[in-house]
Structure 1
């Protein structure tokens, strides 16, 4: 049976880290694709590069910061405070980057076509559904349908953990023996993870729920 090839949108965070490693474990030949879109937590890209180097897989980091002048209003890219509160809709709307996943997926689909890959994978999960419109099942399905007709070669778009929680993703990763000290989640791009922003809180809660310790160093 011929080995399938996947383009994985790889941010360097724990969700995409798990998607990447799950694809490898499932026998895919993986091409990792990361984006610098002006995110204040661009430190995640350093983690992504280190992982791909250690795994010996192809990794591209694409600088698309020029689009920031069109995508104002997010605390991830503008001079707006990152919320230090629970990972919930009322706290997290400021972290939405307008149309981000449609842009990133479009570029990933083009890359997949150019290297004759079989599909595109990214790490949306059920905990994102209320907060991020471009992580909802209807968005993923719509992007998949568009991708199937946008080029001569149909490229399926999948989010393997779309109906699973952060806890489920972490549990699957731990079952693969993954080391999550190799991932960066914090929305603040400081030397250590802050431990108080919404992203850190969600991450720490997942580790606590599974009764295990997060190996990433924290400020607090």
Structure 2
């Protein structure tokens, strides 16, 4: 996991998923004090917020859930916020996964996290974008991170501590790489949540479930996830 120097105090955008949980465990293992920030934007898979709370308790880290549900109600162009739109099955990079884009999601979450970081005197904001997100989500790409870092520096001139970071330590890593890092730092994978359908257990067929299954297989790490479907949808 590439994050140098390791922050003293970080605000982590925290969904309770594989990526953000691995980032949390890695940072905590290296002595970073964490503020875990989750966002309720009316996502259909809001079950992730319960998982986030349980993992935060395991880490004994402050956990805050910000309520953006009124905003989410206006974002009826995404299958993640509009119950009338079906979450597609199949591989994460399929064109159909474009329907899961939530407009400006990472920028909005990062804005909130930066404000909290400035207010709490943290020296970093961390989020879990990774290389597998690049084809579908424009706010998970290196160009976005570079532009956003410049905006934060300009918008908070004189208020940021020296060396303040907006960090996406998994930006050049695959999901399998993240699973390997998580295994090394003791992430309780069975407590994390990925599925976009938000049922009682992972559906096993949507894009995020498909990606999750593949990541464990490629990483050669046992997958403890309970899936409703025994077989994933192939490409």
TM over 0.5: yes
Q: CA RMSD in A?
A: 1.4
After TM superposition, list the pairs within 5 Å mapping 1:133-152 onto structure 2. 133-151=138-156, 152=158
Q: Does 1:15 align with 2:24?
A: no
Q: TM-score, normalised by structure 2?
A: 0.90
Q: Does 1:100 align with 2:105?
A: yes
Q: 2:39 maps to what in 1?
A: 35
Q: Which moved more, 1:39-48 or 1:67-76?
A: 67-76
Q: TM-score, normalised by structure 1?
A: 0.96
CA contact (8 A) 1:89 1:130 kept: no
Q: Does 1:57 align with 2:66?
A: no
- Alpha-carbon distance in 2 for matches of 1:143, 1:156: 11
- State the shift of 1:156 in Å: 2.2
- Alpha-carbon distance in 2 for matches of 1:68, 1:179: 30
- Alpha-carbon distance in 1 for matches of 2:94, 2:148: 23
- Alpha-carbon distance in 2 for matches of 1:41, 1:97: 13
CA contact (8 A) 1:148 1:156 kept: no
Q: Secondary structure of the residue that 2:48 maps to in structure 1?
A: helix
- Alpha-carbon distance in 1 for matches of 2:19, 2:101: 17
Number of corresponding residues: 219
- State the shift of 1:69 in Å: 3.8
- Alpha-carbon distance in 2 for matches of 1:55, 1:73: 35
Q: Does 1:187 align with 2:196?
A: yes
Q: 1:25 maps to what in 2?
A: 29
- State the shift of 1:89 in Å: 4.2
Deviations 1:158-207 (A, max 9, x none): 10111111011111111112220010000011101100011000000011
Q: 2:172 maps to what in 1?
A: 163
- Alpha-carbon distance in 2 for matches of 1:102, 1:57: 24
CA contact (8 A) 1:16 1:122 kept: yes
Q: Which runs of 5+ in 2 are unaligned?
A: 1-6, 230-235
Q: Secondary structure of the residue that 1:123 maps to in structure 2?
A: coil
- State the shift of 1:146 in Å: 1.1
